Amino acid sequence: MHEPITCTNGSREHPLKRQKSTEIRTHTIRSPPFAYAHLELSSSSPSAAEPAMDALQARSYCASALTRFLGDTGSAVSVDVLRVRANRCWVRVPAPDLAAFSAAITAWPGTTDGGERVALKILQCSDWLGCMVGRDGQGDVGA
């Protein structure tokens, strides 16, 4: 057992009482308002060059897929194009609409662009953008 310590003022104190207590803090992360998807534009022709895409095309393809899959409800889903690089893009959608968005993109048959059939493919989707890109990919999403 621990011996009591005699303080300079003559009082006796137990050594375990002298240790500072640690304060535990918790923080609950609520559901984020937005979800993110990483999309790739692919061509049906294996001999064709990799199709290029810009932000306007990405938005148009997503809107087409949502409208075809969900009708007027799909056209009301907000899609923000965050970044486009070559044939890939990052988009942000409201979190409650992520399931409908991914279903619409998956079911979308694509479109014909210059005689080639092109379609969007989902590479990743998540509520947390940081989990998708990781430390190495942060520069790919930022402007």
What distance in Å separates the CA atoms of residue 105 and residue 103, rounded to the nearest whole number? 6
Mean pLDDT of 115-140: 79
Query: How big is the CA angle at 57 (ends 51 and 63), to the nearest 5 degrees?
Result: 125
User: If pLDDT is split at 50, 70 and 90, which confidence band does 108 have?
Assistant: very high
The share of the chain scoring above pLDDT 90, in percent, equals 48
Please write the tens of the pLDDT for every residue from 43-69: 877 766 777 889 999 999 999 999 999
Radius of gyration for the chain, computed over Cα atoms and rounded to the nearest angstrom: 27
Global model pTM greater than 0.75? no
Angle of helix 98-107 relative to helix 55-70, nearest 10 degrees, comes to 90
Q: Where are the domains of the chain?
A: 34-126
**DSSP code of residue 30:** P
CATH fold for domain 34-126: Alpha-Beta Plaits (3.30.70)
